[in-house]
Amino acid sequence: MTDATPSFFKRIPIAFGAFFSTLSDPGYAARVLGLRHAPAPAPTPAAVAPAPLKQATPDAALQLLALLQRDARLIDFTQEDLSGYSDADIGGAARVVHEGCAKVLREHFTLAPVRPEAEGSRITLNEGFDARAIRLTGNVVGQAPFQGALSHRGWRATEVKLPKLADGHDATVLAQAEVEL
């Protein structure tokens, strides 16, 4: 049996997705808060062996993290102890991080909603809907068709334009240390 705990590098895109979903979707933020206070579920034996996972190289995730650091100072922001700052100070810093993150996304990704309907719209999901692109939440029982309210449109990357890396580039250096002379 393989370990279901994702590695550090696999957790990076999960963390970014959760971070932005938490900021933009109050319902999602409430679910995250509930997870933080819920006891850990007991492990259950798998009835069917999961499909083998393909190994992803961390270079693209590290490159994205470096871009977010360069343009948004995201690592600096998340590594800072904010307990001594006022909400107004944190809000000002968050605005800079937000603008920089938005710039990186605009420059390096073409994004489109998974669902075209407005959030809050009532929709029907027929049998065969793409469960990789749509997550059912709430009281999920029975078989499709499902009817519900669209709480988040979702996002899909339709194009990725990351810069090419030179041979010998150390992708683990996300931001060089700076020494002023």
Tens digit of each residue's pLDDT (9 = 90 or more) over 16-61 = 777 777 777 777 777 877 777 777 666 666 567 778 888 878 889 9
Q: In terms of C-beta density within 10 A (0-12 exposed, 13-18 middle, 19 or more buried), how is residue 7 classed?
A: exposed
Q: How many structural domains comprise the chain?
A: 2
Structural domain boundaries, residue 135: 115-153
Q: Both 166 and 140 in a single domain?
A: no
Beta strands in the chain (DSSP E): 109-113, 122-125, 146-149, 155-160
Is 0.85 surpassed by the pTM of this model?
no
Strand partners, 155: 113
Residue 41 within any structural domain of the chain: no
* Within-domain flag for 17: no
- On the question of pLDDT at 139 being above 70, the answer is yes
Residue 2 has pLDDT above 60, yes or no: no
Residue 33 belongs to a domain = no
Confidence (pLDDT) at 165: 87
141 and 91, same domain (yes or no): no
Examine the domain organization and report whether 98 and 70 are in the same domain: yes
Domain assignment of residue 68, yes or no: yes
